[in-house]
Amino acid sequence: MGDQHAELDWQDQAIPVSTRFDDPYFSLENGLTETRHVFLAGNDLPARFAPGFHIAELGFGTGLNLLTAWMAWEQAGHTEPLTFTSFEAFPMTADEMARALAAFPEVASYADQLVTAWKKDKTLTTLKGINARVILGDARETLAAESFAADAWFLDGFSPAKNPELWDANLMAQVSAHTKSGGTAATYTAAGFVRRNLASAGFTVARVSGFGRKRHMTTCLKAPT
């Protein structure tokens, strides 16, 4: 798949929609609140934050999840950097990212730093204040080459019906293999095949209340050993 660019339309001139997957990048209701509900609360954050905490993510998109976690980390009083590793096959341009994130003035100071770093290097090697890394390319190939184990996963690919390759059994097995004992994962989707793949990968899977119009979402726990 390689390092390709996102292909976008814009709804209401503010919400980016992938034309490749026919799916918006964040909730049409409130993307920031959605991120807090699905990915923070879904992973019991910020309560679980601790020094050295590592979040990993499938689907970097606009960077909104990173910004939300980064702000929550600092608001929780942590002074050492949060570690955040994300995988993205179709990165936005910096201008597209800035346009999308303009919808969320609450994270504007973080967004400005992200966009500035993104312009220089989409792997985010120049971003200060957070130990962030974006791995470009197909996660089905790139994740297996990594050696980290995350405390929490944000599974934020496009809709499983439209982007099934980011939810397949082999990739979910790699997610589990890159999760610490007692680690967690959360996603906005409650699609049956996704939950089955996560369960087969070794997670205890729960269907819980979703955000907005979504009745359900999924949370996962990798049993302590």
What predicted TM-score, i.e. pTM, was given to this entire model?
0.92
- For the ranges 4-18, 90-104, 166-180, the lowest mean pLDDT is seen at 4-18
Distance between CA 117 and CA 128 in Å, rounded? Answer: 9
Average pLDDT on 70-76 reads: 98
Q: Taking a C-beta distance cutoff of 8 angstroms, is the pair 152, 55 a contact?
A: yes
User: Hey, which bits of 62-110 come out as E strands?
Assistant: 83-88
Nearest Cα to 179, choosing from 151, 144, 146? 151
- Comparing 215 with 108, which gets the higher pLDDT? 108
- Comparing 153 with 14, which gets the higher pLDDT? 153
pLDDT-based confidence at residue 69 (cuts at 50, 70, 90) = very high
| C-beta atoms surrounding 162 within 10 Å | 13
Residues in the chain: 225
Question: Cis peptide before 164, with omega less than 30 degrees from 0?
Answer: no
- For the ranges 62-66, 158-162, 179-183, 204-208, the lowest mean pLDDT is seen at 158-162
pLDDT-based confidence at residue 143 (cuts at 50, 70, 90) = very high
Helices H, strands E: what count in the chain?
A: 7, 10
| C-beta atoms surrounding 158 within 10 Å | 21
User: Hey, which bits of the chain come out as E strands?
Assistant: 8-11, 15-18, 23-24, 54-58, 83-88, 131-136, 150-155, 179-187, 203-209, 216-222
Strand partners, 15: 11
